[in-house]
Amino acid sequence: MKVLLSFPLVIFIFLALTACGRSPFTNENYNPSQLVQGQNTLQGALAFPQQGLFIRPFWRNGPVVGDEGQLLIVVSDKDGHPKNPSGQLSLYLWMPDMGHGSYPVSLKQIAIGVFEASEIYFTMDGLWDIHFQILREGQVLEEIRWPLTL
Amino acid sequence: MASNTLKLIFSAFFFLELLNPSTVFGAACCGARATLPNLIVGDYRTQWNISWANAAITHQASSAGQVSKRQGNNQEVQETISLSGAYLISDLWQIQSQIPIRKNSRRTLNEEEQHTALGDISIGVAYEFLPETFYSAWKPRGFVFAFQNFPTGKSTYESDTKLGTDATGKGYGSTGLGLALIKNWGHYDGIFSSEYHRGWKERFQANQNTFALNPRYGFSSLLGAGVSPYQGNFRIGGTLGYSFEAGALVNQGRAEEKTSPKYLWDVGLNLSYLYGNSSLLFGYNDQTVIGKANNANLARSLLFSWQYFFER
């Protein structure tokens, strides 16, 4: 009886360790021209009305499914002068149709009003929202979303 | 020979249980949830089953119902190895459990990621409300069942890898009720199963974003038929399944949003062979054949399972 009970467990562990991660049904044809690219539909800038600031994002890489996207973000006042928000700029990805987000985006300030976002991973095709937030002490002061379809 | 037929039908039943999109085919975030029972229908007390399923996400359906093929730069394979068992506690009552281990693999142009972890464990109980006491040409055997899925696997809501391969579970528990009918006529057999479930509300913390998820409800139905040529030890079967998951309510602290509902169809073919107290099963399942789906990843899958029966 003990052998009969332990045999399935041994097989179970063996199979768990030998799963190969491949399938005969996947398309193995890697082709950079087939990357799922998003459309940059933003006209003009996104506004934080309470702070009187505008955000202009520029894709350095992407938006693309499954590979790293990088975004240059310029925050400016109504006259177009770069300006830091009065709070911490933050952004995250959200898929509203699915109800989930993605890997945390890294954000680095490189000049006054200029930020570089990296590690932007859209894990699947579909509608995504990039949420830009201004935070102070963990509280969201203002938030805007930028919808993208990939 | 009748006992053989029942065991082969049981194999088919187990196959159906393994075709459960939540445990095998759907992406952890996106597959519709369906749970079909792992029922003992033969004259035995206990059974064990070990199975291996390999599912490749080959297509995806948008929230507008458009189905598109995935490109080679976005490969996703989910392998699930499940250990499950069922035990007859009396002539009409039985209990069951399933422990899945899942390996998710993704390859994109510049990234490759794999993760293996425990999936969502489930337990269940079934009652045979229509036992086959006397022969009837039309009356099926009927079971009602209840199940409980536990969120033991990490979910896409808690994922902290770039391509989300560490998500091996749904992230929330669910409780369900269902009905299963089986009938065999000589060489032929038919199966119908349907279930309804409700997900438990859950809170998640992701980045600076805390949100509450109410998964609401879902249901699935499955129709299957098979034939054992010459009433031998082989059985060839086919299945047609449908899974629906209502749009979840997500509250990120501002306004409550509703996600798009998910549904998909799947078609399966399976071949099983009975030898002694064991049964081997090989199956193929395809969620792209019907071509009607919404807000879901669609997979083509291979399955192999071995089961062992203990007589009463």
Q: Do B208 and A66 touch (CB under 8 A)?
A: no
Q: Calculate how close chain A gets to B71, using CA atoms only, in Å.
A: 6
Q: Residue B15's pLDDT is what?
A: 46
Question: What ipTM, to 2 d.p.?
Answer: 0.80
Mutate to test the interface with B, among A1, A26, A64, A145 (most CBs of B within 10 A): A26
DSSP 8-state code for residue A13: H
Sketch out chain A's domains with CATH numbers.
45-149 (2.60.40.10)
Residues on chain B touching A68 (C-beta within 8 angstroms): 110-111, 162
CB B244 within 8 A of CB B265: no
Is B304 touching A (CB cutoff 8 A)? Answer: no
Average pLDDT of the residues of chain A: 83
CB B263 within 8 A of CB B294: yes
Q: Enter the pTM of the model.
A: 0.86
Q: Calculate how close chain A gets to B187, using CA atoms only, in Å.
A: 31
Is B216 touching A (CB cutoff 8 A)? Answer: no
Weakly modelled stretches of chain A, pLDDT under 70: 1-9, 11-12, 14-18, 27-41
Return d(Cα A11, Cα B216) in angstroms, integer.
37
Q: Residue with structure tokens 């990120």? A: B252
Q: Do B81 and A12 touch (CB under 8 A)?
A: yes
Other beta carbons within 10 Å of B3: 13
Which token pair is B147? Answer: 């199940």
Residues on chain A touching B254 (C-beta within 8 angstroms): 143
Q: Do B72 and A27 touch (CB under 8 A)?
A: yes
What's the gap between Cα B180 and its chain centre? 14
Beta strands in chain B (DSSP E): 44-61, 67-69, 74-88, 93-108, 112-118, 122-130, 141-149, 174-185, 188-199, 202-206, 209-214, 217-227, 234-245, 249-251, 256-258, 262-275, 278-286, 293-294, 296-311
Name the percent of chain A in helix, strand, coil, to the closest 5: 15, 45, 40
Q: What is the pLDDT along chain B (312 residues), one digit of tens a residue?
A: 455 555 555 555 544 444 443 343 334 344 443 445 678 888 889 988 898 999 999 999 999 999 988 877 788 999 999 999 999 999 999 999 999 999 999 988 888 999 999 999 999 999 999 998 888 889 999 999 999 999 999 998 888 899 999 999 999 999 999 999 999 888 899 999 999 999 999 999 876 678 899 999 999 999 999 999 887 889 999 999 999 999 999 998 777 899 999 999 999 999 999 988 899 999 999 999 998 999 999 999 999 999 888 888
